[in-house]
A and B are shown apart, each in its own frame.
Chain A
Amino acid sequence: MHSKRLLSRRWLKIPVFLLCLAPLLLLAWKALHQDLGANPVEFITHATGDWTLRFLAITLAVSPLRRLLGLPELIRFRRMLGLFAFFYGCLHFTTYLWLDKFFNFDEIAKDVWKRPFITAGFLGFISMAPLALTSTAGWIRRLGGRRWQMLHRLIYISAIAGVVHYYWLVKSDVRKPLLYGAIVFVLLAERAVRWGVGQRRARPSRERAQSIAN
Chain B
Amino acid sequence: MLVKKAADIRYSEVTPKDAYLNRRRFLAAIPLAGAVFATRAAAAEKLAAVKGPFSTDEKPTPFQDVASYNNFYEFGTGKDEPSKNAGRLKTSPWSIHVEGAVSKPKVFDLDAVMKMAPLEERIYRHRCVEAWSIVVPWIGFPLNVLIKAVEPTAKAKFVAFQSLYDPKYMLSERQAGIGLPYVEGLRMDEAMHPLALLGFGMYGQILPNQDGAPVRLVVPWKYGFKSIKSIVKIKFVEKEPPTTWNLTNAREYGFYSNVNPTVDHPRWSQASERRLGEFSKRKTLMFNGYSDQVASLYTGMDLRKNY
Contact = CB atoms under 8 A, between A and B. Distances in A.
B68 A38 contact: yes
Interface string B226-247: 0000000000000000000000
Most chain B CB atoms below 10 A, which of A116, A171, A173: A171
A124 to B, nearest CB: 17
Contacts of A117: 267
In this complex, the interface size class of chain B, counting residues with CB under 8 Å from chain A, is 20 to 34
A144 interface: no
Interface residues of A, number: 20
B11 interface: no
A167 to B, nearest CB: 12
B177 A172 contact: yes
B269 A38 contact: no
A173 B176 contact: yes
A102 B280 contact: yes
B108 interface: no
B203 to A, nearest CB: 15
A39 interface: yes
A107 interface: yes
A172 B69 contact: no
A154 to B, nearest CB: 26
Nearest to A114: B264
Given A37-B80, A111-B269, A117-B267, A172 B176 contact: yes
Contact of A173 (B132, B175, B277): B175
Nearest to B65: A38
A102 B281 contact: yes
A41 interface: yes
A168 interface: yes
A38 B276 contact: yes
B144 interface: no
B175 A169 contact: no
Interface in A151-207: 168-175
Given A37-B68, A38-B65, A38-B68, A172 B274 contact: no
Given A39-B276, A41-B274, A107-B269, A173 B177 contact: yes
B73 A172 contact: yes
Interface string B145-183: 000000000000000000000000000000111100000
B268 A37 contact: no
A39 B79 contact: yes
A13 interface: no
Interface in B49-83: 64-66, 68-69, 73, 77, 79-80
A115 interface: yes
A176 to B, nearest CB: 9
Contacts of A171: 130, 177, 248-249
Given A37-B79, A39-B276, A102-B281, A115 B69 contact: no
Contact of A175 (B79, B175, B267, B277): B175
B74 to A, nearest CB: 12
Contacts of A174: 177
Contacts of A170: 177
A112 B25 CA distance: 49
A7 B77 CA distance: 41
Contacts of A168: 267
B177 A169 contact: no
Interface in B268-286: 268-269, 274, 276-277, 280-281
Contact of B69 (A39, A107, A110, A116): A39
B65 to A, nearest CB: 4
A81 B268 CA distance: 32
Given A37-B69, A39-B274, A102-B280, A172 B269 contact: no
25 contacts: A37-B68, A37-B69, A37-B80, A38-B64, A38-B65, A38-B68, A38-B69, A39-B79, A39-B274, A42-B79, A42-B274, A110-B269, A116-B267, A117-B267, A169-B267, A170-B177, A171-B177, A171-B249, A172-B73, A172-B77, A172-B177, A172-B248, A172-B249, A173-B77, A173-B177
Interface of B: 64-66, 68-69, 73, 77, 79-80, 130, 132, 175-178, 248-249, 266-269, 274, 276-277, 280-281
Interface of A: 37-39, 41-42, 102, 107, 110-111, 115-117, 168-175
